[in-house]
């Protein structure tokens, strides 16, 4: 932990009610940032659904009012789920894309005017190891996370002229409230991901938060347009 590394900087973190988002918000604050948090539930500054029309405009306005600007945007709100293509419903796919893609796109777009005013503009997206490959039953999720990585690359090319960096963290299997139901009901699925990881364990939210803090800092000032695997070496053992 680098206390003071983000002193004076203003951050907005979505999906900050639990899991990875909560850990990121806490880590940015520990490094000195002033953090505005939002989620559908939990102890956050603003309780909101990121898919609601116009909500991201409101969040950015709140950031300007409460924090006097915005330097760091972390789009962490997301959902996961498994559904085989044979018999898959439109609603499942549409919801996955609404949360994991459309809401992220809107947040970046609406936050851009404030980020352009910052000398330390940072956009940090949360993809997945499945931003780069797929798995049976994960078509909708994998499609959404491939889209996140694609947006990372394109937006980085677009906003670099303003000194804004854009990067995407690609977590492996992380032990969070969102993944807990699958790991509990399918212990073999949990063990498979433990076995995949060269480090032999599931990731913890703090493992992702530490990388987010790095990407938000000046230490990552010349790094943009990349997906960063944080997976315990799982993708090396396919």
How far is the CA of 18 from the CAs of 7, 82, 181, in angstroms? 24, 21, 15
Identify the DSSP state of 229: E
Beta strands (DSSP E) in the chain are: 10-14, 34-39, 46-47, 72-75, 122-126, 165-171, 226-230
- Check if the beta carbon of residue 155 is closer than 8 Å to that of residue 166: yes
Active-site residue (options: 141, 183, 193, 214): 141
Q: Please write down the HEC assignment for all residues of 144-204.
A: HHHHHHHHHHHHHHHHHHHCCEEEEEEECCECCCCCHHHHHHCHHHHHHHHHHCCCCCCEC
Is 185 among the catalytic positions? no
- Sheet with 122-126, strands from edge to edge, namely 46-47, 34-39, 10-14, 72-75, 122-126, 165-171, 226-230
Q: List, by residue number, the catalytic residues.
A: 141
């Amino acid at each position: 932990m680098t206390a003071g590394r983000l002193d004076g900087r203003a951050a907005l973190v979505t999906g900050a009610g639990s899991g990875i988002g909560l850990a990121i918000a806490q880590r940015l604050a520990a490094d000195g940032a002033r953090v505005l948090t939002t989620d559908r539930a939990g102890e956050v500054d603003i309780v909101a659904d990121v898919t609601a029309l116009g909500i991201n405009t409101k969040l950015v306005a709140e950031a300007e009012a409460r924090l006097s600007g915005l330097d760091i945007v972390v789009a962490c709100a997301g959902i996961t789920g498994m559904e085989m293509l044979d018999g898959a419903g439109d609603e499942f796919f549409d919801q996955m894309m609404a949360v994991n893609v459309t809401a992220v796109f809107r947040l970046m777009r609406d936050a851009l005017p404030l980020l352009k005013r910052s000398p330390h503009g940072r956009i940090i997206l949360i993809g997945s190891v499945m931003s780069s490959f797929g798995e049976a039953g994960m078509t909708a999720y994998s499609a959404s996370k491939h889209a996140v990585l694609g947006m990372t690359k394109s937006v980085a090319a677009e906003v670099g002229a303003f000194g804004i960096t854009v990067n995407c963290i690609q977590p492996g299997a992380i032990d969070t409230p969102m993944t807990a139901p699958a790991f509990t009901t399918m212990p073999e699925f949990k063990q498979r991901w433990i076995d995949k990881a060269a480090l032999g364990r599931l990731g913890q939210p703090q493992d992702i938060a530490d990388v987010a803090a790095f990407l938000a800092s000046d230490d990552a000032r010349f790094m943009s347009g990349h997906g960063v695997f944080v997976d315990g070496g799982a993708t090396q053992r396919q």
